[in-house]
Amino acid sequence: MSVIENLMVGRHMHMKTNLVQSFFHFGPSQREEVLHREAVEEIIEFLEIESIRHVPVGSLGYGLRKRVDLGRALAQDPKILLMDEPMAGMNTEEKEDLARFILDVREAKRIPIVLVEHDMGVVMDLADRIAVLDFGRKIADGTPKEIQANPAVLKAYLGEDSQ
C-alpha cells in the first residue's frame, strides 16, 4: 500500500458511506473521498512527506515508515495520542526528526501526547511530565527536573550503589 492509501485507512473511522454505496464510486462516496483526501493531504504536508506520497510504505526506510505510522494515527483526528516506543530501533537522525514532529503535533493539534519510551534523552527533552514505572509499579512522577533528582528513580535505573 502506498503512503497515501495508508493514511486514507486512518480516515476510515470517519467515513460514513456504507459498503453498498462504496461499490458505486459516485455521488456521496466520491464527495466523501475528496473530503478525506483533503484531510490526508494536510497531514502529508504537515509531516513533509510529499515526495513519497505514492511510494509503497514497504519500500521506505525505517524512519520514514514510522513517520507514516504517525501520519496514520493523526489521520484519525485523535483527542489524545498514545505512542509506544516510537523511537525504538532508530538512529540519532531519525530520532531527532520524529522528536521534532512530536513537538509539532503538540503545538499544531493541541492534543495531549502519552509517550512510552526508554530513551532517557528523548524522554527528558520531550516530556512536560514524566511517570516512572518499575516492574509495573509507579515509583515517581513529576517534571523532568524532579525526576532526575528523584532517589527512587536513580535507584531503580542506575542501581543501589550509584548514589
Partner 1 sequence: MKLEMATLPQLLRKHAQTTPNRLSQRHKQRGIWREYSFADVQRNVRELALGLHLAGVKSGETIAIIGENEPQHYWAEFAAHALGCKVVSMYPDLTAGEVAYLMDDSEAVVLFAQDQEQVDKGIDVRAKLPTLRHIVYWDTTGMWSYNDPILHTFDALQQQGRTVHQRNTKAYDALVDAGSADDIAVLSYTSGTTGQPKGVILTHRFLIDNAQRLINSMDVRPDMEYLSYIAPSWATEQIYGITLGLGLPMVVNFPEGPEQVLANIRELAVEGMTFAPRQWESMASSVQAHMLDAGPIRRGVYEWGMKVGHTVNVGRLDGKPIGLWDRILFPVANALVLRPLRDQLGLTRLRCASCGGATMAPDIFRMFHAMGIPLRNIYGSTEVGLLTCHQGDRFDLETVGNWMKSHPEAGPPLEWRVSADGELQIRGGSPFLGYYRRENSVESKVKDGWFYTGDAVTKTERGELVFLERLSDLKRLRGGETFPPQFVETRLRFSPFIKDIMTVGDETREFVAALINIDMSVLSRWAEEKRIGFSTFTDLSQRPEIAALLGQEIARVNLFLPKHARVKRFANFPKELDPDEGELTRSRKLRREFLEGRYSMLINGLYDGSREVRIDIPVTYQDGRRGNFEALVSIHDTDSAGSYHLGAA
Site for partner 1, rule CB under 8 A: 4, 37-38, 41-42, 44-46, 50-51, 53, 104, 107-108
- Give the nearer residue to partner 1 in terms of CB position, either 51 or 91: 51
Q: Are 99 and 126 in contact (CB under 8 A)?
A: yes
- Give the nearer residue to partner 1 in terms of CB position, either 98 or 147: 98
Residues in the chain: 163
Residue 45 Cβ, how far from partner 1 at the closest point, in Å?
6
CB neighbours of residue 74 within 10 Å: 23
Per DSSP bridges, beta strands 81-84 and 130-134 are unpaired
- Give the nearer residue to partner 1 in terms of CB position, either 97 or 117: 97
Classify residue 142 as exposed, middle or buried by CB count within 10 Å of its CB (0-12, 13-18, 19+): middle
- Give the nearer residue to partner 1 in terms of CB position, either 42 or 146: 42
Residue 133 Cβ, how far from partner 1 at the closest point, in Å?
33
Burial 23-60 (b: 16+ CB within 10 A, else e): eeeeeebeebbeebeebbeebbebbebeebeeeebeeb
- Give the nearer residue to partner 1 in terms of CB position, either 68 or 147: 68
> Closest Cα to residue 28, out of 41, 38, 18?
18
Residue 128 Cβ, how far from partner 1 at the closest point, in Å?
16
Chain centre to alpha carbon of residue 157: 26
